[in-house]
Amino acid sequence: MSGKLFIVGTPIGNLDDMSKRAIDTLNLADFIACEDTRVTIKLLNHFGIKKKLVSFHEFSPKEKEEKIIHELKSGKKIALVSDAGMPLISDPGYELVRRCIEEGIDVTVVPGPSAFVCALVLSGQNTYSFVFEGFLPKNKRAKREKLESLKYEKRTLIFYEAPHKLLDTLCQMAEIFGVDREISIVKEITKVHESIMLTTLGNAVEFFKQNPPKGEYVLVVRGYEDNKEKTRDDNVEFIKEKLREKLFQGFSKKEAAKMVADELNLPKNKVYKIMVESREF
C-alpha cells in the first residue's frame, strides 16, 4: 500500500502562525523532508516534535527523490517542508509532487503562510490580477532581460529580493519601468520589524541610497498603465458600454461586473456601483 506525501506550510516569521493541523501532521509523519535540517530542527524543537529529518533541496541528487518515492511506495507518510512558508513556492519540490501524481501516490496539502500572498494583501496594489515572479535571475543580463519583458505587463508584479540586491534591483526597475511607477516595498512580514512602504520607484531608489536595506523584502509593483487607455477605462460611459455587452451575452449582473472589472483592471466595487447607480441596468 502506498503512503502519502504531505506538503506542509510553516510560519514565515511568527511561530504563532503554525497551525494545529501542521503540528499534528508533522507528528504523524514517519519522517520530514526539508531544505535545511538546521532550520527545520529549530521549528520542531519549538513545538516539541521529534522526527527524523532528511535534507531535500534544489541541489539534491536524483537519488534522493528516488529514495523518497521508494519510501512512499512502501507505505511511509512523509511531510515536505521548506525553510519558511509554503513549500514549492520559489523552492524546489514540484518534480517530486509530479512523480507522486504520475505514480498514483497520494499527495495532500496542509496550507500555511506564503510571503508573496501576504505582501500582496498588505501592499495597497491591485489584487484582482497579478504575476508572481519570485527571485529575479542572478545573471545581470538575464535579470535585465526579465525586467524588460515585464515592462508592459498590466498585472501587478510581485518579486522576492534579498537586502544586498535591493538597491540594484530598484535602480534597474526605475530605469526600465520608469521612475514614476508605483511600488509597495513590504519588509519582514509577520516579524517584529514588519513594514510597508508605498512610493514610486524613483523615490525608493533615493530612500535606499540613504538607508541601507536590512531584512527580507517583497516588491509589489503596479502594473503598466497606458495614459490613453487609463482615460478610456475610467470613463463611466465606456464601462457602461462594456457592461451592456456582457449582459447582452447572457451573463448575470454580478458576473458582468466582475468580468468588466477584470478586463479593465478596475476594482469590482467601482464597476458594480456604476451598475447600481444607473437606471439602465
Higher pLDDT, 174 or 235: 174
Report whether pLDDT(92) > 80: no
CA–CA dist 206, 174 (Å, integer): 11
pTM (2 d.p.): 0.77
The distance of Cα 32 from the centroid of its chain, to the nearest Å, equals 24
**Lowest mean per-residue pLDDT among 64-78, 167-181, 227-241:** 227-241
Query: Read out DSSP for 47-86?
Result: TT---EEEE--TT--HHHHHHHHHHHHTT-EEEE--SSBS
Query: No. of H helices and E strands in the chain?
Result: 12, 10
Q: How far is CA 250 from CA 245, 246, 275, in A?
A: 9, 7, 16
Q: What's the residue count for the chain?
A: 281
Q: What is the pLDDT of residues 27-50, one digit of tens each?
A: 999 999 999 999 999 999 999 999
Residues 6+ apart with CB under 8 A from 277: none
Across the beta sheet with 195-200, the strand order is: 130-135, 156-161, 217-221, 182-187, 195-200
Instruction: Tell me the sheet residues that pair with 217.
Output: 161, 187
| Total Cβ atoms within 10 A of residue 211 | 9
97: nearest Cα among 232, 105, 73, 52? 105
